Amino acid sequence: MPPRRLLYLCPEFPPSRATGAIRAVRFAGHLPARGWAPLVLTLRDGRPELLTDPAPASDAPVGPVRRVPLPLRPRAEAGPPRHSEWLPFGEALARVPAMIRAGHAAIRDHAPEAVMLNAPPNAFCLAAARLARAHDLPLILDLRDPWMPCDQRGPRRPVWTRALEGPAERRLMQRADAVILNTERARDAYRAWYPQVPPDRFHVIRNAMSDRLFDSPPMAPFPVFTLLYPGSFGQYVSATPVVELARELACRGLGPERVRIVMTDQPRGGPAPDEPAAALMQVIDRIPQAGMGALMQSADMLLAVSQRSSLRLPLKTFDLLQSTRPVIVFEQVANPELQALYAEARAGTVLRADEVARAADIVCAHLAQGRHPEQPRDRAALEPLTLARATDRLAAILNAVR
């Protein structure tokens, strides 16, 4: 029996290196083995592009990995501009008409049996709903981040944005055949926010562990005991816990000949160049996702900073869980779901963002034991987090819609 066709709207898709593109390409590559052939409608240079054979059966091919040291340029910690939430539906709204036109053509030419959207940008929910309604097709919304119930961005939205986006999302929730959220807490928030929508319409498919994370060639170990922060900083992920950890380690007499903190992004508000902590911190170029496993295994310990949200689990979480290096996670907002994942996998320690001294105690304990400490994970706890299991859940949702 030939696979059923799925029109998969993915505003971000490789070669885009946006985080949202990773979830999209993984599902697109694995769905054909489960009876669904995605037609990916994406944007390239702002124009819609249809990919009828969108992805290989696994992650992007592994290429060579290199690191280039960059100078540490401290800059003042600054919050995001308030106008970032002022435009209802965001700047992507201007691309929605072109996506709708391209979607109509794709449906006429390929006759898919359902429409699915990978969002944000949330503006493209409007395109997916218009296409599904016009062609009487099931609508599946895969919301990587919560929209109106968002505890991170929601409070920043002015009244006119909420007044327009709120009713629009309510109509979408009522129209959709299935709504997929990224965490259990986000699903529960949506069920509470939209009590008029049947609760079984809301599903959970977390991001998942890559089955090719460690396929890239090994990298030479860092020359000294290294704490690696393999992520980015931004308006919702503060560098302060990492910077303060460097200061605490320097205060304990640890110099760069013994320990380093290596980051793949410039920290805001880093130490002054003449501070001892500055000598402990090094910034390197970001590397392709395919090389992330090799980079993590070349370090001794891993660091993470959660977002200011209890409804999100960053994609990087699942890379860190899959490594065998001990992890220290700084929580900016208490997230029981994140805490449970790390505890069940025995992957490391989740601390409050201000528990820097406790983090330094953990680092010193591992440093005293020698290089490259191992912290084996609980494989039974990780098995539900595999990409195969995530795609199985998605295929089951698709099979259940009319």
Q: Tell me what pLDDT residue 71 has.
A: 42
The better pLDDT of the pair 88, 301 is held by 301
- Burial 296-332, CB ≥16 within 10 A → b, else e: bbbbbbbbbbbbbbbbbbbbbbbbbbbbebbbbbbbb
- pLDDT at site 58: 54
Q: Closest Cα to residue 20, out of 30, 8, 10?
A: 10
105-115: average pLDDT: 97
Residue ranges with strand state E in 106-224: 114-119, 139-143, 178-181, 202-204
The confidence band for 57, taking pLDDT boundaries of 50, 70 and 90, is low
pLDDT of residue 17: 78
Residue 93 CA to residue 100 CA, distance in Å, equals 11
pLDDT grade for 285, boundaries at 50, 70 and 90: confident
Given 3-state DSSP classes, what are the helix, strand and coil percentages for the chain, each rounded to the nearest 5? 40, 20, 40
Q: What pairs with residue 143 in β-bridges? A: 119, 181
d(CA 92, CA 354): 37
Distance CA 176, CA 140 (A): 6
pTM (2 decimals)?
A: 0.90
Sign of CA dihedral 95, 265, 288, 392: negative
Q: Is the pLDDT of residue 80 over 90?
A: no
- The mean per-residue pLDDT over the stretch 233-246 comes to 94
The closest of 266, 217, 228, 272 to 250, measured between CA atoms, is 272
Q: What is the pLDDT of residues 180-236, one digit of tens each?
A: 999 999 999 999 999 999 999 999 999 999 888 888 888 889 999 999 999 999 889
- Gap between the Cα atoms of 205 and 110, Å rounded: 27
pLDDT at 81 (0 to 100): 47
**Identity of residue 103:** G
SS3 of 245-302: the string is HHHHHHHCCCCCCCEEEEECCCCCCCCCCCCHHHHHEEEECCCCHHHHHHHHHHCCEE
pLDDT band at 84 (very low <50, low <70, confident <90, very high): low
Q: CB within 8 A of 313, min separation 6: which ones?
A: 182, 183, 206, 207, 335, 337, 338, 341
Instruction: Please give the mean pLDDT across all residues of the chain.
Output: 90
| Separation between Cα atoms, residue 19 and residue 174, nearest integer Å | 28
Band of pLDDT at residue 103, cut at 50, 70 and 90? very high
User: What pLDDT is recorded for position 240?
Assistant: 96
pLDDT at position 101 is 96
Radius of gyration of the chain (CA): 22
Alpha-carbon dihedral sign for residues 353, 357, 360, 361: negative
Helix (H/G/I), strand (E/B), else coil: 10? strand
Tokens 């998969």 sit on residue: 8
Tokens, residue 232: 């980015």
pLDDT score, position 166: 94
**Is the Cα torsion angle 23, 24, 30, 33 positive or negative in sign?**
positive
**Distance, CA of 132 to CA of 248 (rounded, Å):** 55
CA torsion angle 242 246 252 255 (round to 10):
150
Over 50: is that where the pLDDT of 63 sits?
no
The predicted pLDDT at position 156 comes to 82
pLDDT digits (tens, 9 = 90+) for 269-284: 889 999 999 999 999 9
User: What are the strands of the beta sheet with 4-10, ordered from one edge?
Assistant: 47-51, 36-44, 4-10, 114-119, 139-143, 178-181, 202-204
Residue matched to tokens 């944007």: 43
Structure tokens at 16: 């885009």
Q: At 351, which helix (H) or strand (E)?
A: strand 348-352
pLDDT digits (tens, 9 = 90+) for 137-181: 999 999 999 999 999 888 888 888 889 999 999 999 999 999 999
**Two structure tokens written together for 140:** 């599946």
**Domains of the chain and CATH, by start:** 4-208+386-400 (3.40.50.2000), 225-384 (3.40.50.2000)
- Whole-number Cα distances in Å, 75 to 78, 269, 272, 352: 9, 5, 9, 24
Cβ-Cβ contacts under 8 Å for 250 (sequence gap 6 or more): 275, 276, 277, 279, 280
